[in-house]
């Protein structure tokens, strides 16, 4: 029987996620049905589970009643983005329909790249120079009296050797950083040796880091893991980078340190998104703020789509999945 694949993705997302070659591979897997778009969202039909074998979702998939996943035909759902939680409650897992996460691996590299970019931008006062030079158009005003810091001289701490954390570690090591340490209670000494770093406690990491890169997923275990006491341990003018998940931190405690001028930050994520326009973080020289764009590169998006197609190919061939979401790992996947 030919597989029927329902694609609940809006045109804009579909164009960013699936290039021509990937679309051709997807079309070779069965009959494709694109859901109708309304106000930038695509709904899942009530008869989904009786009429289709595979469901593909993304950011633009409209919320649906998990009951539509129960039926006589549907056996696989693949989410093209990272976290599946907005569409698939944990209660939907463990039954006849299996779930795969199609975007996390591809996005991890892009998020790590942005984390390194924010690190370098803060170390070299990139935004400070740009703001002053462009506003004044004066050579001296834009550069006089401010010296940057070399990444090779920094003590770099990484919170979590997640996919993002591992990429970040390799990148900063490749740039010449030697004083790299990490906190991850699940990492082994072998992991640390492979990445060329040392493991330590979270308190010790904060007390000995000039740059603290937060790379942890948002899970029940990590919620609020880095609090005021940890930020207080950081040296004056230390840099906190977070392009992973804001929920890992006591955000207000971090913002207090930014307001005081004691710490510098490079942030791409916030507990409230969009960041309110009236936030007093805007315009501060010690804060580089991005609107949750770290995972968004052309290459990462197309890699997400390619990963989804590989998962479907593998599932239809022999029932295997590389990035399956299960009741056991659901809460560990950010």
Alpha carbons within 13 angstroms on the beta-carbon side of residue 164 total 30
Quick one: CA torsion of 172, 176, 182, 184, rounded to 10 degrees?
Answer: 50
List the domain boundaries for the chain: 3-104+298-332, 106-289
pLDDT of residue 39: 97
pLDDT band of residue 115 (cuts 50, 70, 90) is very high
Whether the CB-CB separation of 199 and 165 falls below 8 Å is answered with: no
pLDDT of residue 145: 78
pLDDT of residue 23: 97
Domain 106-289 in this protein, CATH class? alpha beta
pLDDT of residue 334: 60
pLDDT of residue 106: 83
Query: Does position 19 have pLDDT exceeding 80, yes or no?
Result: yes
Instruction: Give burial (CB, 10 Å; 0-12/13-18/19+) of 196.
Output: middle
Whether the CB-CB separation of 266 and 241 falls below 8 Å is answered with: yes
Q: Would you say the pTM of this structure is higher than 0.85? A: yes
Average pLDDT over residues 72-91: 93
pLDDT band of residue 83 (cuts 50, 70, 90) is confident
pLDDT band of residue 238 (cuts 50, 70, 90) is very high
CATH H superfamily, domain 3-104+298-332: NAD(P)-binding Rossmann-like Domain (3.40.50.720)
Query: Whole-angstrom Cα distance, residue 270 to residue 276?
Result: 10
Query: Whole-angstrom Cα distance, residue 248 to residue 49?
Result: 36
Q: What is the mean pLDDT of the chain?
A: 95
pLDDT of residue 202: 98
pLDDT band of residue 94 (cuts 50, 70, 90) is confident
Instruction: Select the more confidently predicted residue: 317 or 2.
Output: 317
What percent of the chain shows pLDDT beyond 70?
99
């Amino acid at each position: 029987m030919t597989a029927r694949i329902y694609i609940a993705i809006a045109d804009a997302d579909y164009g960013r996620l699936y290039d021509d070659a990937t679309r051709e591979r997807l079309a070779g897997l069965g009959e494709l049905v694109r859901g109708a778009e309304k106000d930038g969202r695509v709904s899942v039909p009530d008869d989904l589970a009786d009429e289709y074998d595979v469901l593909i979702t993304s950011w633009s998939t409209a919320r649906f009643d998990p009951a539509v996943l129960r039926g006589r035909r549907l056996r696989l759902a693949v989410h093209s983005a990272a976290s599946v939680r907005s569409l698939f409650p944990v209660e939907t897992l463990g039954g006849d329909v299996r779930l795969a996460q199609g975007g996390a691996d591809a996005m991890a590299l892009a998020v790590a790249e942005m984390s390194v970019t924010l690190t370098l931008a803060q170390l070299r006062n990139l935004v400070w120079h740009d703001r002053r030079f462009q506003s004044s158009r004066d050579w001296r005003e834009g550069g006089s009296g401010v010296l940057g810091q070399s990444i090779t001289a920094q003590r770099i701490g990484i919170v979590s050797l997640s996919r993002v954390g591992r990429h970040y570690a390799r990148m900063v090591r490749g740039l010449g950083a030697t004083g790299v340490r990490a906190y991850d209670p699940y990492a082994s000494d072998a992991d640390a040796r492979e990445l060329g770093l040392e493991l330590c406690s979270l308190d010790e990491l904060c007390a000995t880091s000039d740059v603290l890169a937060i790379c942890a997923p948002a899970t029940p275990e990590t919620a609020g893991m880095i609090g005021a006491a940890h930020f207080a341990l950081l040296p004056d003018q230390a840099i906190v980078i977070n392009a992973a998940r804001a929920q890992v931190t006591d955000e207000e405690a971090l913002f207090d340190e930014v307001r005081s001028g004691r710490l510098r930050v490079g942030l791409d994520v916030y507990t409230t998104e969009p960041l309110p326009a009236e936030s007093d973080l805007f315009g501060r020289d010690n804060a580089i703020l991005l609107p949750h764009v770290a995972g968004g590169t052309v290459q990462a998006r197309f890699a997400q789509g390619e990963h989804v197609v590989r998962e479907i190919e593998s599932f239809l061939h022999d029932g295997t999945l590389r990035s399956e979401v299960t009741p056991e790992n659901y809460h560990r996947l950010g």
